[in-house]
């Protein structure tokens, strides 16, 4: 089951930026992620087959990729030196990562962090799902995730929203999920609003 242990992800944190259209600086933009800030540690919300570490993307962000069967949780801005020894070992040896494994504290690595609403340490996380492998559960957990509201929202918001849709290669959009081309795998993936569907 997807994110069956979601309640352990980031205890004591609060949402600083929600999923979806965000008109505030540094926007307007489509925020694929949810941002959470808090003083404690993050923990893996479900079992994963492996974990990989991206030390720097195009924006200077670090990315922790927790990869499961047809799903992936990406957490940005973490510090490698602050990851738990268990997680660093899993990354180095390619070992599986069980639910409840300590990740470490939220971070603030990356050139866009200083201008974000979650200034300072925060967990910017994105949850990708392969709709071909998990369509039945998506239908059950996120009723209406396939509804495409792009034209409706474009009529209200105009050019800024249209530009974001094109730039980010989004094919379907609503408050529950975004369907787009995954820049890492080059395959169509659903980005789930975990707050709406899984309580994260």
Average pLDDT score over the chain: 88
Could you give the angle at the alpha carbon of 114 between the alpha carbons of 113 and 118, nearest 5°? 65
Q: Is the pLDDT of residue 39 over 90?
A: no
CATH superfamily for 6-197 is Glucose Permease (Domain IIA) (2.70.70.10)
Q: Is the pLDDT of residue 188 over 60?
A: yes
Q: Count Cβ atoms below 10 Å from residue 139 Cβ, excluding itself.
A: 13
Among 10-14, 43-47, 52-56, 170-174, the minimum mean pLDDT is found in 10-14
Which tokens belong to 14? Answer: 């609060």
CA 162/CA 94 separation, integer angstroms: 40
Q: What is the mean pLDDT of residues 59-87?
A: 94
Q: What is the mean pLDDT of residues 65-75?
A: 94
Tell if the pTM clears 0.85, that is, is over it. Answer: yes
The predicted pLDDT at position 118 comes to: 44
Q: Is the pLDDT of residue 115 over 60?
A: no
Q: What is the mean pLDDT of residues 68-86?
A: 94
The predicted pLDDT at position 86 comes to: 96
Which string of DSSP letters, residue by residue, matches 93-159?
Answer: HT--B-TT-EEEE-B--STTGGGSTT-SSBEEEEEEE-HHHHHHHHHHHSTTTT---HHHHHHHHTH
Could you give the angle at the alpha carbon of 64 between the alpha carbons of 95 and 35, nearest 5°? 140
DSSP state of 167: H
For the chain, the structural domain boundaries read 6-197
Summarised one tens digit per residue, pLDDT across range 15-31 is 888 999 998 877 899 99
Which tokens belong to 67? Answer: 């990869």
Summarised one tens digit per residue, pLDDT across range 45-57 is 999 999 999 998 8
Longest CA–CA separation in the chain, Å: 50
Summarised one tens digit per residue, pLDDT across range 120-166 is 788 999 999 999 999 998 998 889 999 999 999 999 999 999 999 99
């Amino acid at each position: 089951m997807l994110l069956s242990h979601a309640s352990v992800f980031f205890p004591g944190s609060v949402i600083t930026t929600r999923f979806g259209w965000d008109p505030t600086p540094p926007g307007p933009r489509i925020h694929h992620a949810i941002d959470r800030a808090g003083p404690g540690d993050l923990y893996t919300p479900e079992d994963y087959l492996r974990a990989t570490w991206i030390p720097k993307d195009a924006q200077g962000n670090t990315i922790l990729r927790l990869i499961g069967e047809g799903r992936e949780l990406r957490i940005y801005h973490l510090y490698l030196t602050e990851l738990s020894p268990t997680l660093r070992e899993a990354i180095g040896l390619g070992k599986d990562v069980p639910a409840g494994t300590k990740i470490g504290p939220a971070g603030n690595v990356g050139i866009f962090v200083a201008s974000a609403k979650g200034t300072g340490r925060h967990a910017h996380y994105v949850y990708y799902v392969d709709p071909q492998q998990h369509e039945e559960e998506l239908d059950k957990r996120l009723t209406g995730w396939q509804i495409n509201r792009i034209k409706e929202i474009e009529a209200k918001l105009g050019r800024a929203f249209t530009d974001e849709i094109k730039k980010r290669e989004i094919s379907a959009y609503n408050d529950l999920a975004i369907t787009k081309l995954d820049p890492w795998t080059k395959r169509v993936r659903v980005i789930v609003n975990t707050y709406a569907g899984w309580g994260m």
